[in-house]
């Protein structure tokens, strides 16, 4: 327990240790800690920003969705309207066409009937003539009584 030169050695060692610590130990560690502080602060700020962006995007997407729904409803209504229109048009056209066909068919039938009547008349007059001829025999001249016959034909 004597005071001796150890004192001086200890002071010198102390000074050297402090110098070394100040030069090579403390600054890099503090720099790294500060850098980490900054990174954490930046990260937190970025997270905050991201959260805001997300909220904004969610709002925007909801708006878009709503708009799209509206548009779709509009388009569907338009389509429905157009479809019923087309159906109506088709119905009207079909009616007109049907009527036309019916009319044409009726006309044709009438014509046919007329033609058949004409034919029938001619044939009936011929038969009548032939029958009358047979009944009257020779006395009746076909030429002389042609007028009569024609009248008869017209009456039938």
Partner 1 sequence: MSTEGLTTSAYIKHHLQNLTCSFQEGHFHCAHTAEEAKAMGFWAINMDTILVSLLLGLIFLFLFSRVAKSISSGVPSGMQNFVEWVVEFIDSSVRGSFNGRSALVAPLALSIFAWIFLMNLMDLVPIDYISLITQPLGIGHFKLVPTTDPNATIGMAIGVFLLVLFYSIKVKGLGGFVGELTLQPFGKFGLPVNLFLEGVNLIAKPVSLALRLFGNMYAGEMIFILIALMGASWMSFSFASTLLFSSQVILSLGWAIFHILIVTLQAFIFMTLTIVYLDMAHQEHH
24 makes contact with partner 1 (CB under 8 A): yes
Q: How many angstroms separate the CA atoms of 47 and 55, rounded?
A: 12
CA 73 to chain centre: 12
39 makes contact with partner 1 (CB under 8 A): yes
79 makes contact with partner 1 (CB under 8 A): no
Q: By the 8 A CB rule, do 125 and 153 touch?
A: yes
Q: By the 8 A CB rule, do 98 and 90 touch?
A: no
Q: By the 8 A CB rule, do 142 and 133 touch?
A: yes
Q: Give the shortest CB-2-to-partner 1 separation in angstroms.
A: 6
Contact with partner 1 (CB under 8 A) among 15, 41, 116, 142? 15
Q: Give the shortest CB-57-to-partner 1 separation in angstroms.
A: 30
Write out the residues near partner 1 by the rule CB under 8 A. Answer: 1-11, 13-15, 17-18, 20-22, 24-26, 28-30, 32-33, 35-36, 39
């Amino acid at each position: 327990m004597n005071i001796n030169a150890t004192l001086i050695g200890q002071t010198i060692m102390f000074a050297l240790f402090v110098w070394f610590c100040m030069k090579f130990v403390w600054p890099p560690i503090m720099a790294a800690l500060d850098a980490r502080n900054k990174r954490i602060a930046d990260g937190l700020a970025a997270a905050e920003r991201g959260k805001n962006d997300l909220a904004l995007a969610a709002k925007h997407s909801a708006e878009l969705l709503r708009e799209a729904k509206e548009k779709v409803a509009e388009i569907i209504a338009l389509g429905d309207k157009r479809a019923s229109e087309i159906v109506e048009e088709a119905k009207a056209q079909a009616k007109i066409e049907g009527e036309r066909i019916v009319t044409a068919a009726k006309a044709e039938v009438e014509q046919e009937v007329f033609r058949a009547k004409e034919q029938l008349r001619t044939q009936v007059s011929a038969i009548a003539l032939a029958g009358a001829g047979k009944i009257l025999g020779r006395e009746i001249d076909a030429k002389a009584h042609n007028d009569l016959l024609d009248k008869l034909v017209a009456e039938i």
